[in-house]
Amino acid sequence: MTNMPESPRWLLTQDRVDEAATILAALNGESRDDPRLNTQLSNLREAVRASGQLDNKTRPKDLFTGGPTQHLRRMLLGFSSQMMQQLSGCNAVIYYFPILFQTAIGVSNNTALLLGGVNQIVYALFATTSWFAVERVGRRKLYLIGTVGQCLSMVLTFGALIPGTASAAKGAAVGLFTYIAFFGATWLPLPWLYPAEINPLKTRAMATASSTVSNWLWNFFIVLITPVLVNNTGTHGWGTYLFFALLNAIFFPIIYYLYPETSGRSLEEIDVIFAKGYSEKISYVKAAKELPFLAEDEVVSKAREYGIDVETEEGHVPGEVEKPIVSETSSSRSAV
């Protein structure tokens, strides 16, 4: 962790321009002498200034604003993603997997614990697939694929438990294994990634913190109610898994209609997506689909077009660099 570089945007808020330039060049796979680097730094600087980061203007009440920035909506998207992760039943499966095997299938305590360990291995293996799929497939598609897979797995689980026999209950075990595979590949990483992408620089820290609070509050809720559901909802608690199947079915339209795609977008482009949706009175999902991928010098002009107030330094036009923003001298650094 000590060797991880700071975010270029954060470095710009601290007026550490040379360090930001070095990291951006490394991320882009370019030389510090590449002329595009100055343009990128200039545009990032304008975006940071517009967000209020240079003047430490961010306040808790900023989380609850609308308009072109849509801070409240974006916070709620992150908050709800963590809520849905927990309400999908992940920790009901992870924590109570061995108990189901003992009570429904009748295996010994040691065998149930061993199968619980196997389940965690499946979990870890499928979680690694998200490393390769999250950019290639996209956030929205992974959310939707995972939701369908989890829902059908829960349907298989509760359906297999209804007869109340050990042989039929083996189908429930299959359902729990497929559930954890879908969850590991999709809903495990996405609610941690999405809030950090969907929220703007101005409210990013507080908004992502709220999403983490959401995760642990709903985690507590699910772990608390699951034993009660298992003991009071049919043979071997099949109603518990019906409950989670219905919740996953509800999540599908929420994701489909409300969650815009963020894959391949810069934080500044996502600002433009929400400003576009607000300005044109269209859904933000549609705005994300319609907005082409923007070059560095197009982001600020689009932000202005859709009503985002981008304050600029006197005599400086966003997207144009009259003199190098990066210099080895302290005087040019302070001028930035």
User: Greatest CA span in the chain, whole angstroms?
Assistant: 79
C-alpha distances (whole Å) from 285 to each of 63, 193, 277 are: 21, 18, 8
Which residue blocks in the chain are alpha helix, DSSP H?
8-13, 17-28, 35-50, 71-87, 90-100, 109-137, 139-161, 166-185, 190-198, 204-232, 238-258, 267-280, 284-290, 296-305, 330-335
Number of Cβ within a 10 Å radius of residue 294: 17
Q: What is the mean pLDDT of residues 312-328?
A: 43
Ordered by start, the domain boundaries in the chain are 8-59+300-335, 67-258
Q: What is the mean pLDDT of residues 180-209?
A: 94
Q: Calculate the average pLDDT of the chain.
A: 86
**pLDDT single digits (tens) 92-115:** 888 888 887 887 777 788 888 888
Per-residue pLDDT at 310: 52
**pLDDT single digits (tens) 281-296:** 999 999 999 999 998 7
pLDDT band at 39 (very low <50, low <70, confident <90, very high): confident
Structure tokens at 311: 């304050």
Structure tokens at 204: 């990013």
Share of the chain above pLDDT 90, in %: 51
pLDDT at residue 49 greater than cutoff 70: yes
Structure tokens at 103: 């009570």
pLDDT at residue 145 greater than cutoff 80: yes
Q: What is the mean pLDDT of residues 21-27?
A: 90
Highest mean pLDDT among 23-32, 67-76, 158-167: 67-76
Structure tokens at 170: 């083996």
Q: Are 37 and 326 in contact (CB under 8 A)?
A: yes
Q: What is the mean pLDDT of residues 301-326?
A: 58
The reported pTM is 0.83
- CATH number of the 67-258 domain: 1.20.1250.20
Q: Using CB atoms within 10 A of its CB, is residue 135 exposed (0-12), middle (13-18) or buried (19+)? A: exposed
pLDDT band at 209 (very low <50, low <70, confident <90, very high): very high
Q: Are 195 and 78 in contact (CB under 8 A)?
A: yes
